Amino acid sequence: KQEVTQIPAALSVPEGENLVLNCSFTDSAIYNLQWFRQDPGKGLTSLLLIQSSQREQTSGRLNASLDKSSGRSTLYIAASQPGDSATYLCAPSSGGSNYKLTFGKGTLLTVNP
């Protein structure tokens, strides 16, 4: 059974800081891994998708890496802004389907002006 842990659970930083969010998962037999952003009471917004054969993906100020063998992924956010404040969730897909995602509890990020 896939289990996902995200560290830290919460993070508060000043605007402009670079930061790293960590995700670990127990079953390395994954199809891909997605990072999502969730604003309070809202749905999930897809940020980055990394296929199991890839090592990293980049989109603007975001960079996600994947080390499948060690069961780890990181999300790097450069030059953080107050608008980045949200909960960040990582979700590997496994269990016989590239659409069945297992989520961690997320990291609550607050970027202070």
What would you report as the CA-atom Rg of the chain, rounded to the nearest whole angstrom? 13
In the list 60, 69, 99, 113, the residue contacting another protein (rule: CB under 8 A) is 99
Question: Are 78 and 84 in contact, with CB atoms under 8 Å apart?
Answer: no
Burial profile 74-90: b = 16 or more Cβ within 10 angstroms, e = fewer = bbebeebeeebbbbbbb
Nearest distance in Å: CB 23, another protein: 11
Asked if residue 5 binds another protein (CB under 8 A), the reply is: no
Footprint of another protein on residues 19-58 (CB under 8 A)? Answer: 31-32, 34, 36, 41-46, 49, 51
Give the sign of the dihedral formed by CA 26, CA 28, CA 34, CA 35. Answer: positive
Comparison of 14 and 41: residue with beta carbon closer to another protein: 41
Residues lying near another protein in the complex (CB under 8 A)? 4, 31-32, 34, 36, 41-46, 49, 51, 89, 91, 93, 95-106
